Amino acid sequence: MIKKIFDKLFEYLLAFFSFITFLIMICIFVFLIREALIIFEYQTGITNIFYSWDKFGILSFEWNPASKTPKYSIIPLVVNSFKVAFIALAFSIPIAFFTSIYTSQYVSLKVRFWIKTVLEFISSIPSVVLAFFGFVIFSEILGYIFSFEFKLNGFIAGITLGFGIFPSVYTIYEDFLYSIPKDYKEASYALGANKIQTIIKVIIPFSLQGLLVAVLLGFNRAIGETMIVMMLGGNIPILSYNLFDPVLTLSGTISGEMGEVIFGDIHYSILFILGIILFFITFLFNMLTLILMRSIKKRYNFI
């Protein structure tokens, strides 16, 4: 009897805990939307969060909440967010790609274990520490090499961010490469191909989907990252396609301005709209990776 009761209670406890996370998720979303809807109490119009007309009647995309007539265009923030994320990816993908091919195909198990452990250790460094490291070292070295116009800019932020996300891209892609069935490789060897030919013609084409999954997850981490971009990005909301200009990203704006803003103000609700946009971007990319993973599982029956 007691056994049965305990059994049932245990089940309920587990159900309770798994339900809590679900509930918190819904609460967060409801909260975000509720605070964002404050914007409709003001007669500024929802189009103001995309563009505004400046005093000469020219279309302008400007983020300047402290101006006499506040301008809340989110376009530069979104563009800057993507810009930094792409710099980070451009830096981290090649490194992760070559490292994972090396550790999965060339080295012994022992060496692979050590390289993997060290790289996974990098991914556990808090982003504040990494940001400070970038602030002291990367900005000096890169500033010396490139002699930037700005001491802190999107390029430095992107490189440091790339350094932060590269271990996670590496781990996912390396696991994928490592779990490719031996039959494929051996079939290639049997046909007379050497190691390089096997890697280029068999392994890499086979693993492209795995690379895409790794890159998408890396992108998700890069676009939500706050501390590195805030400390190194320079935080100027200018709309430019120059990689060496300072950037102000979505997450940087939220964490930088939330503390001092007037609660219930239009600026406050727009910060929540930024949060919703960020939420949707990461949600979209998460869904994409999930779909990809499922298709991989179906097709190859491994991982």
Partner 1 sequence: MNKIKFFSIILFISFFIIIFLFFWDSNFFVIRKKITIKGSETILALNYQWSRYYTKKNPEVSIEITGGGSGVGISSIINRIVSIASSSRRIRKSEIKRIKKMGKTVKEVVIALDSIIIYVNKSNPINTITLNQLQEIYLGKIQNWKEVGGKDEKINLYGRESSSGTYGFFKKKVLNKEDYYNRVISLAGNATIINAIRKDEKGIGYASFSMVKDIKKLAIKVKNKEIYPSEKFIKNKKYPLIRNLYYYFIVEDLKNEFYVFDYINWIKTKKAQSFCIRTGYFPVNIV
Tell me: does residue 258 bind partner 1 (CB under 8 A): yes
Minimal distance in Å, beta carbon 66 to partner 1?
4
Tell me: does residue 257 bind partner 1 (CB under 8 A): yes
Minimal distance in Å, beta carbon 180 to partner 1?
38
Q: Tell which one of 117, 182, 262, 298 touches partner 1 (CB under 8 A).
A: 262
Separation CA 209–CA 289 (nearest Å): 10
Q: Is 224 exposed, middle or buried (0-12, 13-18, 19+ CB in 10 A)?
A: middle
Separation CA 95–CA 163 (nearest Å): 9
Comparing C-alpha atoms, which of 293, 287, 110, 281 is closest to residue 214? 293
Q: Which helix (H) or strand (E) holds 59?
A: strand 59-60
Stretch that binds partner 1, among 39-47, 51-59, 78-86, 259-267 (CB under 8 A): 259-267
What are the residues facing 72 on neighbouring strands?
A: 63
Stretch that binds partner 1, among 19-27, 37-45, 197-205, 257-265 (CB under 8 A): 257-265
Q: Tell which one of 75, 238, 276, 288 touches partner 1 (CB under 8 A).
A: 238
Residue type, 129: V
Tell me: does residue 68 bind partner 1 (CB under 8 A): yes
Q: Tell which one of 75, 95, 236, 277 touches partner 1 (CB under 8 A).
A: 236
Within residues 166-205, the interface with partner 1 by CB under 8 A covers none
Tell me: does residue 10 bind partner 1 (CB under 8 A): yes
Helices assigned H by DSSP within 179-244:
182-190, 195-198, 204-224, 227-232
Q: Tell which one of 49, 84, 88, 152 touches partner 1 (CB under 8 A).
A: 152
Q: Tell which one of 66, 109, 145, 190 touches partner 1 (CB under 8 A).
A: 66
What are the residues facing 53 on neighbouring strands?
A: 59
Side-chain-side CA neighbours of residue 48 (13 Å): 18
> Do 180 and 203 touch, CB atoms closer than 8 A?
yes
What are the structure tokens assigned to 187, written together? 């079939």
Tell me: does residue 13 bind partner 1 (CB under 8 A): yes
> Do 157 and 229 touch, CB atoms closer than 8 A?
yes
What are the structure tokens assigned to 254, written together? 């939220």
Minimal distance in Å, beta carbon 1 to partner 1?
12
Question: Which residues have CB under 8 Å from 297's CB, separation 6+?
Answer: 303
Tell me: does residue 150 bind partner 1 (CB under 8 A): yes
Tell me: does residue 3 bind partner 1 (CB under 8 A): yes
Q: Tell which one of 231, 273, 278, 281 touches partner 1 (CB under 8 A).
A: 231
Minimal distance in Å, beta carbon 122 to partner 1?
24
The residue ranges that bind partner 1 (CB under 8 A) are: 3, 6-7, 9-10, 13, 64-68, 135, 139-140, 149-152, 230-231, 234-238, 246, 248, 256-265, 267
